[in-house]
Chains A and B, each alone.
Chain A
């Protein structure tokens, strides 16, 4: 009887532990997959869901917040996804958030990713439809990759032809690579180029120094470039110069008219300058004048010793003597 009781207890314990494992498993599974939390339903419409299934996870900011509840066809050929999203995270998801389909790892399960959203928009509500963003299509990626591959093949073929020509010494580069004389010449050219570059570098340095000097404050060029007052003055000066030039032109024209008149014999200066006969007469007149002056001078000297001028000349000489002594 006691053995039978012990057996019953053991069976009870055995069954209890077995059921406990089952219940613990169900609760853990439910807790982890958010089966027992309050949730709201959100929707999104995609052209292509790329193998997304009911039960796949919904992520927001890298955190699992729900699961895909239902997948229905919508419109002509679109697909509407209905998601269960935990009620407690709803306040963080805004009405202008977007939904896209991504992958849980490189070769992982498909997931819905909710992202974006601004604080300007209110939080989502039950039944809201989020804007969907189509994910990268792997087929299209593969097509592009295939195109790239084909291009790569063409490039490598061209490269192969090029290198074989180079190896055969064809073309300028091939000749440079294979012909030793040409290589030496090329080396020399490179040396010259090197020197030229050194010189140009030096020249640039000098030019740099020069421009630095030009840029120093107080420098005429610097003032020309930077001083706005000076520019105004310069502009005014230019205006004045322009006016002066106009005046000069006018004056030149007048001078020309004058010189034209000088060249003609219808005026006194023109006659004076151009008439030879008048010049001869004038010369004779000057000779006559000189002679007259000489004779007058002699007369005046004689006048000094004659009465009544003699007394006056003596008085003048005396006054000059006194002034010199003082």
Chain B
């Protein structure tokens, strides 16, 4: 270890650290894809993590989605009413919710709740050497801890996004119904008139990517934590920050790709 510290940096200490971290993250992801298809599959643990990530997050996600629907509708109304176009509210909300806000809000809430939880949990297991103990007891800790959680986040986030979309649209409907006296049928006809299959497919694929990101970042940060309890806190914090940052980058990239497909 002393030799590593004394080694002369290739570019600079910080740049070297960044690229080393990138290579480490890449090998972590590569290991995940290598492990995920190899039995045993730890289905019980996957379901357990699905319960924690999906079912237990539902109340928070639903409430957030509902509030987002109402707030976004109420904030958009004045701008549209200037053009006498408040009848476009359902279309506007549906595009905003299905294309961007549903997946984004769900992923950000999940990154805050689950990313930190996963990072802290695996980080504490790492610093208390529980992971080492698992290896000693012939249990693959990567498969049991990382693969199960990443699978759970990858598949639960799209389901949560569906709930968020539905609840946000219901919240928007309440606001539109109260102010514009629009019936539920008319509201949902307008909602589905302005979105396409591409919007739904891109929303689902984007959610899968966000879920994978939240799980893999949380696990990576926790799995590579060090320096005792301080390291656990740092792992939890950096898991949330990094996951959120990557979610926004992915959102931007997916948007460009989807727009390119839409233009074809």
Which residues on A are within 8 Å of B, measured CB to CB? Answer: 4, 7-8, 10-11, 14-15, 17-19, 21-22, 25-26, 28-30, 32-33, 35, 55, 107
Contact = CB atoms under 8 A, between A and B. Distances in A.
B192 interface: yes
B158 interface: yes
A14 B54 contact: yes
Given A18-B163, A19-B159, A32-B192, A11 B54 contact: yes
A32 B160 CA distance: 25
Contacts of B200: 22, 25-26, 29
B76 interface: no
Interface of B: 44, 47-48, 50-51, 54-55, 58, 83, 85, 155, 158-160, 162-163, 165-166, 188-189, 192-193, 195-197, 200, 204
Contacts, number: 63
21 contacts: A4-B44, A4-B48, A7-B55, A8-B47, A8-B51, A10-B51, A10-B55, A11-B50, A11-B51, A14-B50, A14-B55, A15-B155, A18-B159, A18-B162, A21-B166, A22-B162, A25-B192, A28-B188, A28-B192, A29-B197, A35-B197
A21 B192 contact: no
A11 B197 contact: no
Contacts of A32: 189, 192-193
B162 A21 contact: yes
Contacts of A22: 162, 200, 204
Nearest to A32: B192
Main secondary structure of the interface of B (DSSP, over half): helix
Nearest to A35: B197
A14 B165 contact: no
Contacts of A33: 192-193, 196
Contacts of A17: 163
A19 to B, nearest CB: 7
A220 B43 CA distance: 120
Contacts of A28: 188, 192
Given A18-B162, A29-B192, A32-B189, 20 more contacts: A7-B47, A7-B55, A8-B51, A10-B51, A10-B55, A11-B51, A11-B54, A14-B54, A15-B50, A15-B159, A18-B163, A19-B159, A25-B165, A26-B200, A28-B192, A29-B195, A32-B192, A33-B192, A33-B196, A35-B197
B168 to A, nearest CB: 12
A28 B187 CA distance: 13
A272 to B, nearest CB: 119
A227 to B, nearest CB: 71
Nearest to B188: A28
B193 A26 contact: no
A136 to B, nearest CB: 22
Nearest to B98: A25
B51 A21 contact: no
B46 to A, nearest CB: 9
A9 to B, nearest CB: 10
Given A18-B163, A21-B166, A22-B162, A11 B196 contact: no
